Amino acid sequence: MALPGRQRTDGSRVVVVGAGIGGVSFAIALKRQLGFQGFTIYEQATDIGGTWRDNTYPGSGCDTPAHWYSLSTDLNPYWSTTVPPQHEVWAYWKALATKYDLYEHTTFHTKVISAAWDTAQQNYCIVLEDVKTGERRDTRASVVISAQGYLVERRIPENLRDAGLERFAGPVFHSANWNHDIPLSGKRVVVIGNGASAAQFIPRLIADQSTYVVNFCRTANWFLPSIRGDYSTLQIWAFANVPFVLRLYRNWLVLVNGLFPIMRRKWRAVFGGRAPEQHLIDYIQQTAPRKYHDQLVPRYPLGCRRPILDPGYLACLHQSNVELNWNGISRITENEIHTDKGETIAADVIILSTGFVTDQYSVHITGSDGQTLSDYFAANGGPTAYLGVGVPGFPNLFFVGGPNTVTSNGSAVFTHEIAINQIVQLLRPVLSPSPSILSVAPKRAAHDAYNKRLQETLSATSWVRCASWYRAGADGNGKNFGIFPWSVWAFWWLTRRVDWENWECLSV
């Protein structure tokens, strides 16, 4: 029965949380592989696209080869460049949603608040909220697919709140929620954070010589030389019209990128016997101003954090209307930033490029034994799943882009497809017109053995040797819940078929 004060809606057999690239990819797989139509995607925003819908800051773009950042079932011959801008990537995913009629399956302005497993009914009781009105309603579903991804909740560091961020009188916004109504021409702009987003938009901001940018930095990043290159009209024509050319080109990209060595300590002396870091140090020092060399060269090994594909950030630091500041922020007033070194910096606008909260799950999910997913993650030191897709005690709950599925050298779309293939195999007997299984969840022993081996492997890599968003905790120094420590091909091999011995199934 519906809870008092809330409406009850008829349920779909499958609920997908989020209409980003993970949710769209999963919905397409349901249609293509199972011919299944009984699903609903709930999205709290106004359109599909996830990070590509939200990140509209100047210079926003892909840092993975576009022909690998495409579904294998729906290659796009018309990418304009190797690493396309945000609007092209978003248009690609919107076109897929239209092609597969996913808008008809999607309810926008709707947030999934909670989902609780009902053992007697063998389904989830789900609470939804209309984000415009606040009205809540209930629905039920046999299967819940979490496709929210990592880059959802903007992180506002506590030290900025403590310094008095709310006192600042001018505009303040996060780079993932760019305010295009704020003119930046002729303004002194303080950018807090120096990750991938800041590296993309700062060169665009200072192209206007009247804009002065002070970029507050905390940790140096490894920069890779850009791989950007425009495709010629002839290349695009060949991709679109010559049989197998596009598929062969994509397969070549997958092969070359998928075989790149992972960052194990014993493999550090690659590239002709020189450590790969030295090549990148040379690049940083040859490209950036000499006065910043000491601060810009990282003190941690390559791979510990995701390296940045340089969009012109290092070279733009030669301009006179930008400066880097590596000091801590001690106090923020109505129009000034005060540093812990006694500096006072005037500011008209503050842009936060401070990343996302990646180790917490916003949907309150309760499993078969009454434990919440948040409590389960906390008990395991951070987000944890079997093969990145399922959790013991949470029947018919699956993750797209789940724990430890990020590969250092892979495409998120490619790893999503690999995980989705495993999930679809698991759901085939559940969603069949004549189902043989009511619910499925990984066995605890299989889950624990897999994650023990995974964490042991991670402990011998550079991924645990610095703070990063791959790791749990506010300081980013906890358990590594993000990285899959083997190659993308190993992920495919482990998930290519379901090992039913490792799954707890309730038969019809």
The residues facing 174 across adjacent strands are 352
Find the helix or strand (DSSP H, E) in which 504 lies. strand 503-507
Residue 326's pLDDT is what?
A: 98
On whether both 136 and 56 belong to a single domain, the answer is yes
On whether both 183 and 47 belong to a single domain, the answer is no
Strand-by-strand arrangement of the 349-352 sheet = 172-174, 349-352, 188-192, 212-216, 322-325
Per DSSP, 14 falls in state E
On whether both 453 and 375 belong to a single domain, the answer is yes
Residue 357's pLDDT is what?
A: 85
Residue 106's pLDDT is what?
A: 98
398 within 8 A of 146, measured Cβ to Cβ: yes
User: 3-state SS string over 205-225?
Assistant: HCCCCCCEEEEECCCCCCEEC
Q: What is the CATH number of the domain that holds 322?
A: 3.50.50.60
Q: Encode the chain (508 residues) as per-residue pLDDT tens digits.
A: 333 334 434 456 999 999 999 999 999 999 999 999 999 999 999 999 999 999 999 999 999 999 999 999 999 999 999 999 999 999 999 999 999 999 999 999 999 999 999 999 999 999 999 999 999 999 999 999 999 987 778 899 999 999 999 999 999 999 999 999 999 999 999 999 999 999 999 999 999 999 999 999 999 999 999 989 999 999 999 999 999 999 999 999 988 877 654 444 444 444 444 578 899 999 999 999 999 999 999 999 988 888 999 999 999 999 999 999 999 999 999 999 999 999 999 999 999 999 988 888 889 999 999 999 999 999 999 999 999 999 999 999 999 999 999 987 679 999 999 999 999 999 999 999 999 999 999 999 999 999 999 999 999 988 998 988 889 887 888 999 999 999 888 999 999 999 999 999 999 9
Reduced to 3 states (helix: H, G, I; strand: E, B; else coil), residue 118 is: strand
- When divided into structural domains, the chain yields a total of 2
Residue 206 lies in a domain: yes
Cα–Cα dist 339/322, whole Å: 17
Residue 259's pLDDT is what?
A: 63
Residue 349's pLDDT is what?
A: 99
Q: Which phi-psi region, left, alpha or beta, contains residue 403 (left: φ > 0; alpha: ψ -120 to 50)?
A: beta
The DSSP-derived string for 79-94 is: -SBSS-BHHHHHHHHH
The residues facing 323 across adjacent strands are 214
User: At 88, which amino acid appears?
Assistant: E
Residue 1's pLDDT is what?
A: 30
On whether both 122 and 64 belong to a single domain, the answer is yes
User: At 157, which amino acid appears?
Assistant: P
Residue 363's pLDDT is what?
A: 94
On whether both 328 and 210 belong to a single domain, the answer is yes
Cα–Cα dist 350/477, whole Å: 27
Q: What residues contact 207, with CB distance under 8 A and at least 6 apart? A: none
On whether both 342 and 414 belong to a single domain, the answer is no
On whether both 148 and 163 belong to a single domain, the answer is no
On whether both 317 and 394 belong to a single domain, the answer is no
Give residue 183's Cα distance to chain centre.
Answer: 29
479 within 8 A of 454, measured Cβ to Cβ: no
Residue 260's pLDDT is what?
A: 54
Find the helix or strand (DSSP H, E) in which 507 lies. strand 503-507
Domain extent, residue 213, equals: 158-219+303-352
Q: What is the pTM of this model?
A: 0.94
Q: What pairing do the DSSP bridges indicate for beta strands 344-346 and 336-339?
A: antiparallel
User: At 442, which amino acid appears?
Assistant: P
On whether both 198 and 319 belong to a single domain, the answer is yes
Residue 4's pLDDT is what?
A: 34
